[in-house]
Amino acid sequence: MLLIVQIVLVLAVILVSLVLMRGGANARHLAIRRIMLMIFAVAAVASIFLPEVLTAVASFLGVGRGTDLVLYATIVSFFVFMATTYQRFRHAENALTALSRRIALDEAPKPWIDGRS
């Protein structure tokens, strides 16, 4: 049973990593994101098959258990995700505002063209 759970977890890590590797803002950000995802995937697979290593790393860092270390890493990852999502949202919102203004100016009536002046 443990082997089945490990295989399912590894497949989930691979699937999430592949989904998150799609697309990016520019080449530098995409490269950094891919490197971080590869580190995440390797660490996740290692923690699935070798949980005692995760516990040893947690003890070395002064954290009680490996599961606590995973929780802390998840919290940090969540905050990073929130920050990057907020930045992307603000960028998209600013781009949409600029586009809306441009369309409004382009479609505004031009009295000097109508000939009714």
**Which span out of 28-32, 54-58, 59-63 was modeled with the highest average pLDDT?**
54-58
17 and 40 Cβ atoms separated by less than 8 Å: yes
| Token pair listed for 39 | 């580190």
CA-CA distance, 65 to 47, in Å (whole number)? Answer: 12
* C-alpha closest to that of 48 among 8, 77, 20: 8
Say how many domains are in the chain.
Answer: 1
Q: Would you say residue 73 lies in a domain?
A: yes
Q: Is the pTM of this model over 0.75?
A: no
Q: Mean pLDDT across the stretch 76-102?
A: 87
CA-CA distance, 115 to 106, in Å (whole number)? Answer: 18
Q: Would you say residue 113 lies in a domain?
A: no
Q: Would you say residue 117 lies in a domain?
A: no
CB half-sphere exposure, 23, CA atoms < 13 A:
2
Domain that holds residue 43: 2-108
Predicted confidence at residue 31, as pLDDT, reads: 77
SS3 content of the chain, % helix, strand, coil (to 5): 85, 0, 15
Q: Would you say residue 116 lies in a domain?
A: no
Confidence grade of residue 100 (pLDDT, cut at 50, 70, 90): very high
The more confident residue out of 112 and 17 is 112
For 27-44, the pLDDT digits (tens) are 776 777 778 778 887 888
| Token pair listed for 80 | 């990073």
| Token pair listed for 109 | 């009536």
